[in-house]
Amino acid sequence: MSQENVEALRRGYEALNRRDIDTWLEGFHADADMHDLPSIPDAPVRRGHAAIREWLSMMDELWVDARYEPQEFTDTGQFVVVAVRAKARGRGSDIPMDVGMFHVFEIEDGKIRRALAYLDRDEAFEAVGLRE
């Protein structure tokens, strides 16, 4: 396991949770791809820092106090699968959201090349050709 990848991602989650977006984006290649959950119909692939910022702005319009709490990291060198608890409150409704999900990061030269999200652990591992 590459502890460097895990520690870099851990710092990235910390930066994201405190909304230090510039620091968070330092962990991504300038032309990195971010994919939404595959269950979202016609979800766009966001490419590059500007598009990833737009995604975060959209999430902040929907949710208050959004946090991504990493629970477990599985690093294979090229890919890191992270079990995450996503927590927030609906903006306007104040309804709490607490969802387990899996983030898959493709790492290239120490930075995120591609980020994907899944609700199912097996799907996350299968999507990148990994088996537990």
pLDDT score at 131: 66
CATH architecture of 3-127: Roll (3.10)
pLDDT in tens, the chain (132 residues): 478 999 999 999 999 999 999 999 999 999 999 998 888 888 889 999 999 999 999 888 999 999 999 999 998 778 999 999 999 999 999 999 999 999 999 999 999 999 999 999 999 999 878 765
Q: CA-to-CA distance for 6 and 68, rounded, in angstroms? A: 15
Give every CB contact of residue 77 below 8 A, 6+ residues apart in sequence. 2, 5, 107
Measured between its terminal Cα atoms, the distance across the chain in Å is 14
